[in-house]
Amino acid sequence: MSNAGGLGVLGPNAGQIEVTDDPIDTAERMRQELRKARQLTDKPIGLNILTPKSGQNVAESVFTAALLKMAYEEKVLHFAVVGSAHEELFQDIKAHNGTLIFRPLTPTVAQMQMGERFGADILVATGSDEGGVMPRQDFGTFTVVPAMVDAVSIPVFAAGGINDVRGVRAAYALGAQGVYIGSRFLLTEESPMADIAKQAVLDAQFGDILRVSPTQRSVKTPAAVKYARRYCDNQDPMLDREISINGGLRPGMLLGDFERGIISVNNGVDMLNTVPSVKQLVDDLMA
Protein backbone atom coordinates (compact mmCIF):
# COMPACT_ATOMS: atom_id res chain seq x y z
CA MET A 1 0.00 0.00 0.00
CA SER A 2 2.74 2.44 0.90
CA ASN A 3 4.73 1.58 -2.23
CA ALA A 4 1.57 2.19 -4.27
CA GLY A 5 1.30 5.76 -2.98
CA GLY A 6 -1.09 5.43 -0.04
CA LEU A 7 -0.38 5.06 3.65
CA GLY A 8 -0.15 1.38 4.57
CA VAL A 9 -1.49 0.81 8.08
CA LEU A 10 -0.88 -2.33 10.18
CA GLY A 11 -3.89 -3.38 12.22
CA PRO A 12 -3.53 -4.73 15.79
CA ASN A 13 -3.29 -8.36 14.59
CA ALA A 14 -1.53 -7.81 11.26
CA GLY A 15 -0.01 -10.96 9.81
CA GLN A 16 -1.34 -13.24 12.55
CA ILE A 17 -3.34 -16.46 12.33
CA GLU A 18 -3.19 -17.58 15.97
CA VAL A 19 -4.86 -15.62 18.76
CA THR A 20 -3.02 -14.21 21.77
CA ASP A 21 -4.51 -12.40 24.76
CA ASP A 22 -1.15 -11.14 26.01
CA PRO A 23 -0.42 -7.44 25.34
CA ILE A 24 3.36 -7.88 25.37
CA ASP A 25 3.14 -10.75 22.89
CA THR A 26 0.83 -8.65 20.73
CA ALA A 27 3.32 -5.78 20.71
CA GLU A 28 6.27 -8.05 19.90
CA ARG A 29 4.36 -9.67 17.05
CA MET A 30 3.65 -6.20 15.71
CA ARG A 31 7.31 -5.26 16.00
CA GLN A 32 8.23 -8.18 13.75
CA GLU A 33 5.50 -7.31 11.23
CA LEU A 34 6.68 -3.70 11.17
CA ARG A 35 10.28 -4.74 10.57
CA LYS A 36 9.24 -7.12 7.78
CA ALA A 37 7.23 -4.34 6.13
CA ARG A 38 10.15 -1.94 6.37
CA GLN A 39 12.30 -4.39 4.45
CA LEU A 40 9.85 -3.97 1.56
CA THR A 41 9.41 -0.19 1.53
CA ASP A 42 11.13 3.01 2.53
CA LYS A 43 7.78 4.84 2.53
CA PRO A 44 5.85 5.72 5.72
CA ILE A 45 3.91 2.95 7.46
CA GLY A 46 1.21 3.61 10.06
CA LEU A 47 -0.13 1.67 13.02
CA ASN A 48 -3.79 1.32 13.94
CA ILE A 49 -4.33 2.28 17.60
CA LEU A 50 -7.58 1.85 19.55
CA THR A 51 -8.37 4.55 22.09
CA PRO A 52 -8.83 3.60 25.75
CA LYS A 53 -12.39 3.01 26.91
CA SER A 54 -14.30 5.87 28.49
CA GLY A 55 -12.79 6.69 31.88
CA GLN A 56 -9.57 4.74 31.25
CA ASN A 57 -6.13 6.26 31.04
CA VAL A 58 -3.57 4.96 28.56
CA ALA A 59 -1.79 2.75 31.09
CA GLU A 60 -5.06 1.00 31.97
CA SER A 61 -5.63 0.16 28.30
CA VAL A 62 -2.91 -2.49 28.33
CA PHE A 63 -2.92 -3.42 24.62
CA THR A 64 -2.83 0.21 23.52
CA ALA A 65 -0.05 1.00 26.01
CA ALA A 66 2.06 -1.97 24.87
CA LEU A 67 1.65 -1.14 21.18
CA LEU A 68 2.51 2.52 21.74
CA LYS A 69 5.67 1.66 23.69
CA MET A 70 6.82 -0.60 20.88
CA ALA A 71 5.88 1.96 18.22
CA TYR A 72 7.92 4.69 19.87
CA GLU A 73 10.90 2.34 20.17
CA GLU A 74 10.59 1.55 16.46
CA LYS A 75 10.24 5.24 15.54
CA VAL A 76 6.76 4.91 14.04
CA LEU A 77 5.49 8.36 13.04
CA HIS A 78 1.98 7.70 11.67
CA PHE A 79 -0.96 6.58 13.78
CA ALA A 80 -4.51 5.79 12.65
CA VAL A 81 -6.37 6.22 15.94
CA VAL A 82 -9.89 4.78 16.15
CA GLY A 83 -12.45 5.24 18.93
CA SER A 84 -13.29 8.36 20.93
CA ALA A 85 -11.20 11.51 21.35
CA HIS A 86 -8.76 10.94 24.23
CA GLU A 87 -6.62 13.87 25.32
CA GLU A 88 -3.87 11.91 27.11
CA LEU A 89 -3.40 9.50 24.19
CA PHE A 90 -3.37 12.27 21.60
CA GLN A 91 -0.88 14.38 23.53
CA ASP A 92 1.36 11.34 24.07
CA ILE A 93 1.47 10.62 20.33
CA LYS A 94 2.16 14.26 19.51
CA ALA A 95 4.92 14.37 22.14
CA HIS A 96 6.61 11.57 20.14
CA ASN A 97 6.34 13.57 16.89
CA GLY A 98 3.55 11.41 15.53
CA THR A 99 1.12 12.32 12.77
CA LEU A 100 -2.33 11.51 14.15
CA ILE A 101 -5.23 10.46 11.91
CA PHE A 102 -8.32 10.26 14.12
CA ARG A 103 -11.41 8.28 13.11
CA PRO A 104 -14.24 8.47 15.65
CA LEU A 105 -16.27 5.27 15.58
CA THR A 106 -19.36 7.49 15.55
CA PRO A 107 -18.47 10.82 13.95
CA THR A 108 -20.18 13.80 15.54
CA VAL A 109 -19.34 17.48 15.42
CA ALA A 110 -18.41 17.33 19.12
CA GLN A 111 -16.02 14.38 18.58
CA MET A 112 -14.41 15.99 15.55
CA GLN A 113 -13.90 19.32 17.29
CA MET A 114 -12.55 17.59 20.38
CA GLY A 115 -10.14 15.59 18.23
CA GLU A 116 -8.90 18.78 16.60
CA ARG A 117 -8.53 20.47 19.97
CA PHE A 118 -6.55 17.53 21.40
CA GLY A 119 -4.05 17.66 18.53
CA ALA A 120 -5.24 15.43 15.66
CA ASP A 121 -3.67 16.27 12.30
CA ILE A 122 -6.35 14.67 10.14
CA LEU A 123 -9.93 13.64 10.94
CA VAL A 124 -11.96 10.85 9.30
CA ALA A 125 -15.69 11.25 8.68
CA THR A 126 -17.22 7.77 8.38
CA GLY A 127 -20.64 7.17 6.89
CA SER A 128 -22.89 4.26 7.80
CA ASP A 129 -22.22 2.86 4.30
CA GLU A 130 -18.96 1.41 5.63
CA GLY A 131 -17.94 -2.16 6.44
CA GLY A 132 -16.48 -3.15 9.79
CA VAL A 133 -17.94 -1.59 12.94
CA MET A 134 -20.53 0.93 11.81
CA PRO A 135 -21.33 4.25 13.51
CA ARG A 136 -24.17 4.23 16.02
CA GLN A 137 -26.10 6.70 13.90
CA ASP A 138 -27.51 6.09 10.45
CA PHE A 139 -25.96 8.98 8.53
CA GLY A 140 -24.56 8.14 5.12
CA THR A 141 -21.19 9.29 3.83
CA PHE A 142 -22.79 12.07 1.74
CA THR A 143 -24.37 13.46 4.92
CA VAL A 144 -21.46 13.08 7.33
CA VAL A 145 -18.55 14.34 5.24
CA PRO A 146 -19.73 17.90 4.44
CA ALA A 147 -21.10 18.37 7.97
CA MET A 148 -17.74 17.45 9.50
CA VAL A 149 -15.72 19.43 6.93
CA ASP A 150 -17.70 22.53 7.88
CA ALA A 151 -17.20 21.95 11.61
CA VAL A 152 -13.38 21.87 11.78
CA SER A 153 -10.37 23.63 10.31
CA ILE A 154 -8.02 20.67 9.72
CA PRO A 155 -8.19 18.18 6.81
CA VAL A 156 -10.98 15.61 6.78
CA PHE A 157 -10.81 12.24 5.03
CA ALA A 158 -13.97 10.49 3.84
CA ALA A 159 -14.77 6.85 4.67
CA GLY A 160 -17.68 4.55 3.96
CA GLY A 161 -18.69 2.89 0.70
CA ILE A 162 -15.89 4.32 -1.45
CA ASN A 163 -15.09 1.61 -4.00
CA ASP A 164 -14.01 3.35 -7.22
CA VAL A 165 -12.79 6.63 -8.65
CA ARG A 166 -16.35 8.02 -8.72
CA GLY A 167 -16.53 7.69 -4.94
CA VAL A 168 -13.14 9.36 -4.53
CA ARG A 169 -14.18 12.28 -6.72
CA ALA A 170 -17.46 12.59 -4.84
CA ALA A 171 -15.56 12.70 -1.52
CA TYR A 172 -13.39 15.55 -2.81
CA ALA A 173 -16.46 17.37 -4.09
CA LEU A 174 -17.93 17.18 -0.58
CA GLY A 175 -14.84 18.88 0.85
CA ALA A 176 -12.73 15.89 1.90
CA GLN A 177 -8.99 16.12 1.30
CA GLY A 178 -8.39 12.38 1.22
CA VAL A 179 -10.07 8.98 1.49
CA TYR A 180 -9.83 6.24 4.11
CA ILE A 181 -10.76 2.92 2.48
CA GLY A 182 -11.11 -0.58 3.91
CA SER A 183 -13.56 -2.91 2.16
CA ARG A 184 -12.28 -2.34 -1.39
CA PHE A 185 -8.78 -3.49 -0.43
CA LEU A 186 -10.09 -6.84 0.84
CA LEU A 187 -10.46 -7.83 -2.80
CA THR A 188 -6.85 -7.43 -3.90
CA GLU A 189 -4.20 -9.97 -4.81
CA GLU A 190 -2.18 -9.16 -1.70
CA SER A 191 -5.09 -9.24 0.77
CA PRO A 192 -4.83 -12.07 3.33
CA MET A 193 -8.60 -12.64 3.29
CA ALA A 194 -9.40 -16.28 2.55
CA ASP A 195 -9.89 -17.01 -1.15
CA ILE A 196 -13.29 -18.56 -0.45
CA ALA A 197 -14.32 -15.35 1.35
CA LYS A 198 -13.11 -13.22 -1.56
CA GLN A 199 -15.22 -15.35 -3.89
CA ALA A 200 -18.25 -14.96 -1.63
CA VAL A 201 -17.92 -11.17 -1.90
CA LEU A 202 -17.41 -11.34 -5.67
CA ASP A 203 -20.61 -13.39 -5.96
CA ALA A 204 -22.66 -11.20 -3.61
CA GLN A 205 -25.16 -8.52 -4.58
CA PHE A 206 -26.74 -5.82 -2.47
CA GLY A 207 -29.62 -8.11 -1.51
CA ASP A 208 -27.13 -10.55 0.00
CA ILE A 209 -26.02 -8.06 2.68
CA LEU A 210 -27.51 -8.77 6.10
CA ARG A 211 -27.58 -6.64 9.26
CA VAL A 212 -26.23 -9.06 11.88
CA SER A 213 -25.95 -6.78 14.94
CA PRO A 214 -26.44 -3.16 15.98
CA THR A 215 -23.10 -2.17 14.41
CA GLN A 216 -22.23 -4.88 11.87
CA ARG A 217 -23.41 -6.25 8.54
CA SER A 218 -22.25 -9.26 6.56
CA VAL A 219 -22.44 -11.04 3.26
CA LYS A 220 -24.89 -13.91 3.60
CA THR A 221 -23.22 -16.88 5.33
CA PRO A 222 -24.86 -19.58 7.50
CA ALA A 223 -23.62 -17.78 10.63
CA ALA A 224 -24.74 -14.38 9.31
CA VAL A 225 -28.25 -15.71 8.59
CA LYS A 226 -28.59 -16.90 12.19
CA TYR A 227 -27.38 -13.59 13.62
CA ALA A 228 -29.60 -11.63 11.23
CA ARG A 229 -32.74 -13.51 12.28
CA ARG A 230 -32.09 -12.70 15.91
CA TYR A 231 -31.33 -9.07 15.11
CA CYS A 232 -34.51 -8.77 13.05
CA ASP A 233 -36.61 -10.41 15.78
CA ASN A 234 -35.53 -8.40 18.80
CA GLN A 235 -32.61 -6.02 17.94
CA ASP A 236 -30.52 -8.04 20.43
CA PRO A 237 -27.94 -5.57 21.83
CA MET A 238 -25.63 -8.44 22.86
CA LEU A 239 -25.03 -9.68 19.31
CA ASP A 240 -21.91 -7.55 18.84
CA ARG A 241 -20.38 -9.10 21.93
CA GLU A 242 -21.42 -12.60 20.89
CA ILE A 243 -19.84 -12.18 17.47
CA SER A 244 -16.66 -10.99 19.18
CA ILE A 245 -16.60 -13.95 21.58
CA ASN A 246 -17.08 -16.29 18.60
CA GLY A 247 -13.94 -14.92 16.96
CA GLY A 248 -15.09 -11.67 15.37
CA LEU A 249 -14.05 -11.45 11.73
CA ARG A 250 -11.36 -14.14 12.02
CA PRO A 251 -13.43 -17.31 11.32
CA GLY A 252 -15.24 -16.07 8.23
CA MET A 253 -12.79 -13.65 6.65
CA LEU A 254 -9.38 -15.06 7.53
CA LEU A 255 -10.15 -18.79 7.85
CA GLY A 256 -13.11 -19.09 5.46
CA ASP A 257 -15.32 -20.84 8.03
CA PHE A 258 -18.82 -19.63 7.14
CA GLU A 259 -20.60 -21.85 9.66
CA ARG A 260 -19.00 -19.78 12.43
CA GLY A 261 -18.09 -16.52 10.76
CA ILE A 262 -19.35 -13.41 9.01
CA ILE A 263 -17.85 -11.43 6.11
CA SER A 264 -18.01 -7.69 6.69
CA VAL A 265 -18.03 -5.33 3.69
CA ASN A 266 -19.52 -1.97 2.84
CA ASN A 267 -22.94 -1.44 1.26
CA GLY A 268 -21.51 -1.11 -2.25
CA VAL A 269 -20.87 -4.83 -2.62
CA ASP A 270 -22.10 -4.78 -6.26
CA MET A 271 -18.99 -2.75 -7.12
CA LEU A 272 -16.64 -5.23 -5.42
CA ASN A 273 -16.27 -7.36 -8.51
CA THR A 274 -12.56 -7.52 -9.41
CA VAL A 275 -9.35 -8.60 -7.64
CA PRO A 276 -6.59 -6.25 -8.83
CA SER A 277 -3.18 -5.72 -7.31
CA VAL A 278 -3.01 -3.02 -4.64
CA LYS A 279 -0.92 -0.88 -7.03
CA GLN A 280 -3.50 -1.16 -9.79
CA LEU A 281 -6.35 -0.38 -7.38
CA VAL A 282 -4.63 2.74 -6.02
CA ASP A 283 -3.91 3.92 -9.57
CA ASP A 284 -7.58 3.37 -10.50
CA LEU A 285 -8.89 5.14 -7.40
CA MET A 286 -6.63 8.13 -7.91
CA ALA A 287 -7.06 8.43 -11.71
User: Which pLDDT value is given to residue 19?
Assistant: 87
Residue 1 lies in a domain: no
Residue 254 lies in a domain: yes
- Same domain membership, residue 209 and residue 140: no
- Same domain membership, residue 149 and residue 36: yes
- Same domain membership, residue 158 and residue 227: no
> CATH number, domain at 173?
3.20.20.70
Q: What is the pLDDT of residues 40-89, one digit of tens each?
A: 999 999 999 999 998 999 999 999 999 999 999 999 999 999 999 999 99
- Same domain membership, residue 218 and residue 129: no
- Same domain membership, residue 167 and residue 117: yes
How many domains, the chain?
2
User: Which pLDDT value is given to residue 223?
Assistant: 97
- Same domain membership, residue 93 and residue 25: yes
Identify whether the C-beta of residue 123 lies closer than 8 Å to the C-beta of residue 116. Answer: yes
- Same domain membership, residue 201 and residue 150: no
Residue 87 lies in a domain: yes
Q: Which of 113, 96, 95 is nearest to 104 (CA)?
A: 113
Owning domain of residue 78: 8-187+275-285
- What's the rounded Cα separation, in Å, for the pair 196 and 256? 6
Q: Which residue numbers in the chain have pLDDT < 70?
A: none
Residue 71 lies in a domain: yes
User: Which pLDDT value is given to residue 275?
Assistant: 98
Residue 3 lies in a domain: no
- What's the rounded Cα separation, in Å, for the pair 284 and 271? 13
- What's the rounded Cα separation, in Å, for the pair 135 and 82? 12
Residue 2 lies in a domain: no
User: Which pLDDT value is given to residue 49?
Assistant: 97
Residue 139 lies in a domain: yes
Taking every pair of Cα atoms in the chain, the longest distance, rounded to a whole number of angstroms, is 51
Q: What is the pLDDT of residues 150-171, one digit of tens each?
A: 999 999 999 999 999 999 999 9
